[in-house]
Amino acid sequence: MKAKEFTENWTGEPLICYDETALRANGLRDGDIAVLSKYGLPESAAPYLNFEEMDAQDIGYVEAGYYYLGYTGDGDWIGIHTDSGKILVIAQDPDEYSDDDFSDDDGQEENEEDGAGQEDEACEDYDYVGFTLMNTSLEALYECMLRYGGFLQKRLPEGTGEYIEQVELLREKLREADPEAMQREDCFWNEEIRKLLKC
């Protein structure tokens, strides 16, 4: 979903735009700079997402290669990867995690056993403990927020057949919005679907 289309369809909290100079100084891609500075993100959106502009000097810990966009209801940060434009949730307490700690230890061991004389398969940032992929782009984030908000507006009683049917329909719409992200079971939006289904 294009940013202009999102702003035309968004009826929630006001949108905040990010400072173009700060975005450029932190090495974001031109396309992401244009979107964030011209259209921005909502001050808040379901499920418990909060977006704000914060001066880097006010942040005690900034993960290298990411630009702070906001925070989740759990207090973790939402950041955009400056090179790829992917949106990730970053655990706020870096001391909890080590840089070489993988979410899939078995996969790491298998690579070590089979990797004699071969290059290790590239590991994405969100394969590390403490990082969770939210969306692969700002455009996908826009669409997922609209889809999730639209589901909540239905105000269906939890546990009913219609409620479960609509949650499954929401899952399909999120998959259409960002198939790459939704392929991952630990994707932010897949976690939210599981919370809706309480499983």
Q: What is the rounded CA–CA span in Å between residue 54 and residue 196?
A: 31
CB 118 within 8 A of CB 79: no
Residue 10 φ/ψ region, left for φ over 0, alpha for ψ in the -120 to 50 degree band, beta for the rest: beta
Residue 188 CB neighbour total at 10 angstroms: 24
CB 179 within 8 A of CB 76: no
Residue 5 CB neighbour total at 10 angstroms: 14
Query: CA separation (Å) from 54 to 35, 143, 163, 192?
Result: 17, 24, 38, 26
User: Quick check: helix, strand or coil at residue 180?
Assistant: helix
Q: What is the pLDDT of residue 179?
A: 97
Q: What is the pLDDT of residue 89?
A: 93
Positions in the chain whose pLDDT score sits under 50? 94, 96-121
* pTM given for the model: 0.81
Q: What is the pLDDT of residue 105?
A: 39
Q: What is the pLDDT of residue 131?
A: 86
Q: What is the pLDDT of residue 176?
A: 97
Two tokens, residue 107: 């996969």
Q: What is the pLDDT of residue 122?
A: 54
The half-sphere exposure of 116 on its side-chain side, counting CA atoms within 13 A, is 2
